[in-house]
């Protein structure tokens, strides 16, 4: 059986070419559509310049006042009369109080008994470790020297524990540490020369307050003479 179609009339023979041509046309049309730009119509405004002819300003004429020059000073008289002073004036002579080499000073006989010599007593400082008689803390009277030394140290510890108060600001900030306090017991038995060294100023102030509240003691003695006795103690501030 023979086919009815003409083999030369193949419709699918150039379909690929037509597809490529159509695709190119579509892409070109799409590209032109994307690149197309439109602008709004701009209305040109015509500005009419108005020329003003009368631009000359009239400046008012000011009147200038001329002040007359000052009169010339009076002329000096041709003859000057000299009036003699008939009154006599007594001059006051002021004597000098300065002393020169020629000034004679009256001799004054002075004896040694007439001169008071004030001897300033020098304050001696003896460390607590080597002093002969330690300061006596109230409540340690009547003990031996060795027992008074031990009693002094125990009373200091009791005083610190009794008057110890942790600062509220240090509690809130979490500040803790050890404060070294150095002080001295003077010849009058009072605490003096307090020096603190610690991790924070708040703790140092509290340690100073505790030591400053120490009671007055019997001063220490070296060879039966009252002397200043320096002492140091650590105060530990620790958060529980």
Spatial distance between the Cα atoms of 178 and 128, rounded to a whole number of angstroms: 22
Q: Report the range of poorest mean pLDDT among 33-37, 146-150, 199-203.
A: 33-37
In the predicted model, what is the mean pLDDT of residues 121-134? 85
Percent of the chain exceeding pLDDT 90 equals 38
**What is the architecture, at CATH level 2, of domain 145-237?**
2-Layer Sandwich (3.30)
pLDDT for residue 170 is more than 70? yes
Between 212 and 43, the more confident residue is 212
Per-residue pLDDT, 47: 47
Compute CA distances 23 → 11, 19, 30, 59, 116, whole Å. Answer: 19, 6, 11, 83, 133
What does the alpha-carbon distance between residue 228 and residue 149 come to, in Å, rounded to a whole number?
A: 16
Which one has a higher pLDDT value, 9 or 154? 154
Note the pLDDT of residue 68.
Answer: 76
- Could you tell me the pLDDT band of residue 73, with boundaries at 50, 70 and 90? confident
Does 43 have pLDDT greater than 60? no
pLDDT at 7 (0 to 100): 59
Query: Would you kindly state where each structural domain of the chain is located, as residue ranges?
Result: 145-237
Q: Is the pLDDT of residue 56 over 70?
A: no
């Amino acid at each position: 059986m023979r086919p009815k179609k003409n083999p030369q009339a193949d419709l699918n023979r150039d379909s690929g070419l037509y597809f490529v041509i159509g695709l190119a046309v579509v892409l070109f049309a799409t590209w032109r559509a994307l690149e197309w730009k439109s602008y709004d119509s701009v209305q040109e405004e015509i500005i009419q310049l108005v020329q003003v002819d009368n631009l000359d300003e009239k400046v008012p004429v000011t009147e200038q006042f001329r002040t007359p020059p000052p009169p010339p000073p009076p002329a000096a008289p041709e003859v000057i009369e000299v009036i003699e002073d008939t009154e006599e004036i007594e001059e006051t002579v002021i004597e000098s109080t300065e002393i020169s080499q020629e000034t004679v000073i009256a001799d004054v006989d002075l004896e040694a008994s007439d001169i008071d010599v004030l001897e300033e007593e020098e304050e001696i400082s003896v460390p607590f470790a080597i002093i002969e008689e330690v300061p006596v803390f109230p409540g340690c009277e009547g003990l031996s020297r060795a027992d008074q030394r031990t009693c002094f140290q125990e009373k200091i510890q009791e005083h610190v524990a009794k008057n110890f108060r942790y600062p509220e600001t240090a509690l809130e900030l979490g500040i803790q540490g050890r404060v070294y306090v150095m002080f001295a017991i003077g010849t009058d038995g009072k605490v003096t020369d307090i020096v603190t060294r610690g991790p924070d100023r708040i703790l140092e102030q509290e340690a100073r307050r505790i030591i400053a509240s120490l009671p007055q003691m019997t001063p220490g003695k070296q060879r039966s003479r009252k002397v200043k006795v320096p002492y140091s103690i650590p105060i530990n501030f620790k958060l529980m």
